Amino acid sequence: MYLSRFFADDASMHGCLRCRDTDAPFPLDLRMAFQPIVDVARREVFAYEALVRGPQGEGAGWVLGQVQPEQMYRFDQTCRVLAIATAAELGLDTRLSINFIPNAVYEPASCIRLTLAAAERVGFPVERLMFELTESERITDPGHALGVLEYYARRGFTTAIDDFGAGFSGLALLTRFQPHVLKLDMELVRDVDSQPAKQAIVGGVATMASRIGSRPLAEGVETRAELDWLRGVGIELFQGYLVARPRLGALPEPDWSVFERGSAGSAPPQARLQPSA
């Protein structure tokens, strides 16, 4: 199993490897794809999001379907360590965004040990770590999820709420914790340029995010019309096939030409309407 191999010569981590799921190893070989998040105002890559893939490049949905509840902790830890190790091998020199499963983090200070040890082992700066809490998955204990986010923020990590608007916590969570980044669910972004209801919601969320100190990020951008409308309401962070598709084991370069005024473009037809994760 990946974690056992990675920390084979580090006896101090053996206790963490046996934590919680002694009888629930996760034998599936995982891989990581990466997709850039760009800051159009600064014309730079803000972060690369690590996206889990199966041994043959299967998508995140397929991978999650293989994970049993008793394997969730080991799966979450494997994804973190693999993302950090792969990013370091590829020479990533900006933030690394990692999705985490709050239900798999029983105690933040203890469960972060493998993450920090992996970063130290491969020489990846921990201040570049960004953790995303997905809003589309039901959180069994919202208070616990809040505690995890607060702990990560205190440690100096960049924090994000992913799929905002999809889900289960929404505005109630924002009243108690304001992340550095608020990622709009791609269903809100899709065709926002032509749907007044979405425009009202997205415009309101963008304004709200700015007022509480969070940066709104538009996820799943696929057309120039969507991009232009979103830029018009002040959004500066973007992720989606229009900018760059995820690549397995590589750091794809953004297509900066789509941000030039007067250019036209959209994601290739075969890429549209597929989730980036």
Closest by CA to 83, choosing from 123, 30, 145, is 30
Which residues form the domain of 235?
Answer: 2-271
Q: What is the pLDDT of residues 169-192, one digit of tens each?
A: 578 888 999 999 999 999 999 999
Closest by CA to 64, choosing from 148, 15, 136, 13, is 136
Query: Does some domain include residue 58?
Result: yes
Instruction: Report angle CA 92, 247, 101 to the nearest 5 degrees.
Output: 75
For residues 50 and 86, is the Cβ–Cβ distance under 8 A? yes
Distance CA 215, CA 110 (A): 29
Beta strands per DSSP E along 144-223: 158-164, 181-184, 215-219
Total domain count, the chain: 1
Query: Does some domain include residue 24?
Result: yes
Q: Which residues on adjacent β-strands are paired with residue 161?
A: 133, 182
Q: What is the pLDDT of residues 109-129, one digit of tens each?
A: 888 999 999 999 999 999 999
Cα–Cα separations (whole angstroms), residue 272 to 58, 80, 220, 222, 245: 18, 28, 9, 7, 11
Query: Does some domain include residue 277?
Result: no
Query: Does some domain include residue 267?
Result: yes
Distance CA 52, CA 31 (A): 6
Distance CA 76, CA 238 (A): 26
Other Cβ atoms within 10 Å of 89 Cβ, number: 11
Q: Average pLDDT in the 13-34 region?
A: 70
- Residue 168: the pLDDT is 56
* 135: DSSP letter: S
pLDDT at 275 exceeding the cut of 70: no
What's the CATH code of the domain at 249? 3.20.20.450
- Residue 72: the pLDDT is 87
Cα–Cα separations (whole angstroms), residue 34 to 72, 188, 267: 22, 23, 17
Could you write out the three-class secondary structure of 64-122?
HHCCCHHHHHHHHHHHHHHHHHHHHHHCCCCEEEEEECHHHCCCHHHHCHHHHHHHHHH
Average pLDDT of the chain is 87
Cα–Cα separations (whole angstroms), residue 44 to 93, 106, 235, 259: 12, 36, 15, 12
- Sign of the CA dihedral with 76 first, then 1, 275, and 93 last: positive
Query: Does some domain include residue 249?
Result: yes
At residue 48, what is the residue type?
Y
- Residue 17: the pLDDT is 56
Does this model's pTM top 0.85? My answer is yes
Q: Is 179 exposed, middle or buried (0-12, 13-18, 19+ CB in 10 A)?
A: buried
Give 230's Cβ-side CA count (13 Å radius): 33
- Residue 274: the pLDDT is 43
